Amino acid sequence: MASFTQHRCLLTSSRVTEDNRPMADRGAIERAFQQTLEAVKTSNPQFVFDREGRPAAIAAIRGALPMMERDLFDAVMEDCECELAATREAMFQMLTKS
């Protein structure tokens, strides 16, 4: 294990050329992801989404539901949000691995 850690440290500490720069900077990955997401969003009508208008739409749907269905709706929405967050985090972790 120690030799593996030492080997990995040597690999990550070696000089990085401009052409072969690892995307270990999460901020840079985040910006690149947001730019790519915007490009995909505008590339085809099937990818269009409205992040800014979504909270009001969700609130309107939630408000129209009876109390029991609201709880179920909230649980489903939370599950979807957690899956999206986990998927995004997994993507970042994969991109930042050396």
Give the C-alpha distances (Å, rounded to integers) separating 7 from 1, 21, 34, 40, 97. 10, 19, 33, 38, 14
> In the predicted model, is pLDDT for residue 2 greater than 60?
no
**Tokens read off for 53:** 């208008």
Its sign, for the CA torsion 68, 69, 74, 78, is positive
Every domain of the chain and the residues it spans: 26-96
Q: What is the pLDDT of residues 75-93, one digit of tens each?
A: 999 999 999 999 988 988 8
17 or 54, higher pLDDT: 54
Model confidence, pTM: 0.59
